[in-house]
Amino acid sequence: MHIMEGYLPAFWCIIWYVIMIPIVGYGIYQIKKITEEYPETKALVAVSGAFMFVLSSLKMPSVTGSCSHPCGNGLGVALFGPAITGVLATIVLLFQALLLAHGGLTTLGANCVSMGIIGPFVGWIVFKGCNKVGLNTKVNIFLTAFLADIITYLVTSIQLALAFPLPSFAAAFPKFFIIFMPTQLPLAIAEGLLTVIVWNGLIAYKPEVLEKLNAITPQKA
């Protein structure tokens, strides 16, 4: 899902930065607020960021014969929402842009909007909704992580088709969609399963913090 350095026209680089900056700014404010209110969430913010660090470094083979990587954005968004996840994604993407020539500084805004904000946002909506109707929390976190991953790549396809609508957006979009989505499907399932494993650990050791974050309801712990 990384759009490579220089591969978005300057106009679109600016657009995505303009969307990203206020949300990431709000995320930084939220991290300050929540870690002051509940200092025990600090470790959870770190674990969420670390999970994203690990998962986005793993390039996995898919049944399509291409390789791609999961995003690791489902855990952070289930616990803290999309703004904080945007901050964590920015850190990961900066590391990869500067040290690995993966993604880039000009495309950081676009990549952060897909992996840090919109993908997680959709996962978050589903997580909150399923929480409300009382879906099993493990099934819920699986769905959340799966969707956050898949939607991230959907957004990347849209971003590329918007930047290169040749001859039209409708013609370009399927070309990008087809290289990302089939490859990503099994990897998103793998990401969902891995997120459940970490979730199980959090439920076992830190149920009280998860309750404070409204990530689980007390009777389900």
Partner 1 sequence: MKYENIILLVLVIIILVAPMIMYNGLGEDQGMFGGSDDKGVDVIGELDHSYKPWFESIWEPPSGEVESLLFAVQAAIGAIIIGYAFGYWRGQSKKD
> Footprint of partner 1 on this chain (CB under 8 A)?
1-7, 9-10, 43, 46-47, 49-68, 95-102, 104-106, 156, 160, 164, 166, 172, 175-176, 179-180, 183-184, 186-187, 189-190, 193-194, 196-198, 200-201, 204-206
Q: Are 108 and 17 in contact (CB under 8 A)?
A: yes
Q: How far is the CB of 82 from partner 1 (least distance, A)?
A: 20
Distance from C-alpha of 93 to C-alpha of 116, rounded to nearest angstrom: 9
Helix 41-57 vs helix 10-37: angle between axes, to the nearest 10 degrees?
A: 150
Instruction: Report the residue number, 128 or 138, with the smaller CB distance to partner 1.
Output: 138
Instruction: Report the residue number, 30 or 66, with the smaller CB distance to partner 1.
Output: 66
Q: How far is the CB of 107 from partner 1 (least distance, A)?
A: 9
Instruction: Report the residue number, 125 or 186, with the smaller CB distance to partner 1.
Output: 186
Q: Partners of 60 in the beta sheet?
A: 68
Q: How far is the CB of 137 from partner 1 (least distance, A)?
A: 13
Residue whose token pair is 């289930």: 78
Q: How far is the CB of 151 from partner 1 (least distance, A)?
A: 16
Q: How far is the CB of 59 from partner 1 (least distance, A)?
A: 6
Q: Are 181 and 153 in contact (CB under 8 A)?
A: yes
Distance from C-alpha of 78 to C-alpha of 123, rounded to nearest angstrom: 8
- 18: left (phi > 0), else alpha (psi -120 to 50), else beta? alpha
Instruction: Report the residue number, 46 or 221, with the smaller CB distance to partner 1.
Output: 46
Instruction: Report the residue number, 100 or 221, with the smaller CB distance to partner 1.
Output: 100
Q: How far is the CB of 26 from partner 1 (least distance, A)?
A: 24
Long-range own/partner contacts, residues 94-98 (CB < 8 A, 24 or more apart): 95/53, 96/2, 96/56, 97/5
Distance from C-alpha of 194 to C-alpha of 142, rounded to nearest angstrom: 9
Instruction: Report the residue number, 25 or 208, with the smaller CB distance to partner 1.
Output: 208
Helix (H, G, I), strand (E, B) or coil at 61: strand
